[in-house]
Amino acid sequence: MGDQLLIGMARRLQLCLREEDTVSRFGGDEFAVMVNEVKDVKDAIHLAERFLARLKEITMPSSVGKTTSVSIGIVMFNDKYKITQDILRDADTAMVHAKARGGGCYQVFDTTLHTNAIALLLLETDIKRAVANQEWQIYYQPILSMASGETQGVEALVRWIHPRRGLLLPEEFIRDAEDVELILPIGEFVLRTACLQAKAWHAAGFPELWVSVNLSLRQFQDSNLVQKISQILAETGLPGKRLRLEVTETGAMQDLAYSVEVLKEIEKLGVDVLLDGFGNGFSSLSYLKRFPIKALKIDQSFIQDIMVNKSSAAITTAIITMARSLNLDVIAVGVENNEQNRFLKELFCDNVQGFLFCRPLPANDVTGFLQQHLVKLKDKLLPS
């Protein structure tokens, strides 16, 4: 069927071209088209749009029932090109960029694409070195009970100690690590380190403390995920009930059947799952009831402006009310001031997390926070 599809593609391409133009199968599922006598980039774009329209009509042979998706990279010849390979390289770079945008589109090459491609290649080299040398440091941010003020758990947050650029936050490298398919070893390192640290805190006098670890979409889709979690729990000696895994709402909704199956397997290990970034995705109540989850983490974009945006306040109120009806806990993320905290307290939100209470800290500093916080709580409970 793959061969038949390629033949169909080739024929459609030929129908879009003139006799003096050249089309060839470049390799795998890629075709290269050389078009003569193009006036300007508008002509090339017009031709690309014609390709997209024609090739979209092709369906997979037999009864598969799938339509094709085509990505096109356009490069315009100029005197700066000295060898053929450079033209093909830039066309390929533009095509990859079109694919990254979701496919079904074209991308005209410009020098910034080449610069970005080189930067990504260098970053990939840096990430590979970081994985080999374990250049990661885990910070932890406490999650507190709204009712008692006691620290219930901590969220593990990875940092990259880059040898040249210093301390890098997740938003500066996680997406790139996913793009170059190196997120799995990073995620495994974070999970193992967090479990070991939680075990150490238990021995230091905090036996009820749990640690939550974020799972990237690629990790969640890993067929060996449950096995890896089970292995790490066994290696570190951490009870499953003291580990929580955070899955994004949008990630869980991508493949509902798969998500339900994996979440149930994780539940068998005694591990609770938190649905992260809730409110920004597209979950419906019917699907939410199928997920074996412990809590919802309200997306911080709602918390940060609940005092000035009526919609955010209404959504936050609705999420807490809904969660209570489904017997789910709620964690409000990104609490930064007393007004936000007071609003959430009036709604009887279960747990809070944010700069108002504690910033993400290295493990040793979190140990100090836990000890000081415990002393303050005991002082509050002593009779005056």
CATH code of the domain in which 99 resides:
3.30.70.270
Residue 62 lies in a domain: yes
| Cβ count near 263 (within 10 Å) | 21
Amino acid sitting at position 326: L
Q: Do 90 and 214 share a domain, yes or no?
A: no
Q: Do 102 and 139 share a domain, yes or no?
A: no
Give residue 382's pLDDT.
44
Q: Do 165 and 99 share a domain, yes or no?
A: no
Q: Do 201 and 346 share a domain, yes or no?
A: yes
Q: Return the closest-CA partner of residue 213 out of 204, 225, 200.
A: 225
Q: Do 97 and 151 share a domain, yes or no?
A: no
The DSSP letter of residue 267 is: H
Residue 129 lies in a domain: no
For the chain, residues with pLDDT lower than 70 are: 57-67, 281-286, 375-384
Q: Where are the beta strands (DSSP E) in the chain?
A: 22-27, 30-34, 71-74, 105-108, 136-145, 151-162, 166-168, 210-214, 243-248, 272-278, 295-298, 329-333, 351-353, 361-362
Q: Do 52 and 140 share a domain, yes or no?
A: no
Residue 143 lies in a domain: yes
Q: Do 98 and 139 share a domain, yes or no?
A: no
**C-alpha dihedral sign at 308, 310, 311, 314:** positive
**C-alpha dihedral sign at 361, 330, 244, 181:** negative
CATH code of the domain in which 217 resides:
3.20.20.450
- Listed in sequence order, the residues at least 6 apart from 243 whose beta carbon sits closer than 8 Å to its beta carbon are 194, 195, 198, 210, 211, 212, 213, 229, 233, 271, 272
Residue 147 tokens, joined: 């009712």
pTM for the complete prediction?
A: 0.74
Q: Do 192 and 317 share a domain, yes or no?
A: yes
- Listed in sequence order, the residues at least 6 apart from 54 whose beta carbon sits closer than 8 Å to its beta carbon are 12, 13, 15, 16
Residue 122 lies in a domain: no
Q: Do 139 and 50 share a domain, yes or no?
A: no
Q: How many domains does the chain have?
A: 2
Q: Return the closest-CA partner of residue 92 out of 112, 71, 77, 78.
A: 71
Among 62, 92, 109, where does a domain finish?
109
Residue 101 lies in a domain: yes
Q: What is the pLDDT of residues 274-295, one digit of tens each?
A: 999 887 765 556 677 788 999 9
Q: Do 95 and 151 share a domain, yes or no?
A: no
Give residue 274's pLDDT.
94
Residue 125 lies in a domain: no
Report percent pLDDT > 70 for the chain: 93
Q: Do 263 and 183 share a domain, yes or no?
A: yes
Among 74, 109, 144, where does a domain finish?
109
Q: Do 99 and 195 share a domain, yes or no?
A: no
- Listed in sequence order, the residues at least 6 apart from 137 whose beta carbon sits closer than 8 Å to its beta carbon are 158, 159, 160, 161, 167, 362
Number of residues that this document lists for the chain: 384
Give residue 192's pLDDT.
97
Reduced to 3 DSSP states, what percent helix, strand and coil does the chain have, rounded to the nearest 5? 50, 20, 30
Q: What is the pLDDT of residues 190-242, one digit of tens each?
A: 999 999 999 999 999 999 999 999 999 899 999 999 999 999 999 999 999 99
Question: Is there a contact between 114 and 93 (Cβ–Cβ < 8 Å)?
Answer: yes
The b-or-e profile of 122-135 (16+ CB within 10 A means b, else e) is: ebbebbeebbeeeb
Residue 244 lies in a domain: yes
Q: Which domain holds residue 73?
A: 2-109
| Cβ count near 69 (within 10 Å) | 13
Give residue 195's pLDDT.
97
Q: What does the alpha-carbon distance between residue 231 and residue 245 come to, in Å, rounded to a whole number?
A: 15
Residue 116 lies in a domain: no
The b-or-e profile of 25-42 (16+ CB within 10 A means b, else e) is: eeeeeebbbebeeeeeee
Q: What is the pLDDT of residues 21-37, one digit of tens each?
A: 888 998 888 999 998 88
Residue 246 tokens, joined: 């955070």
Q: Which residue has the tokens 């403390």?
A: 209
Residue 355 tokens, joined: 């700069």
Residue 351 tokens, joined: 């747990």
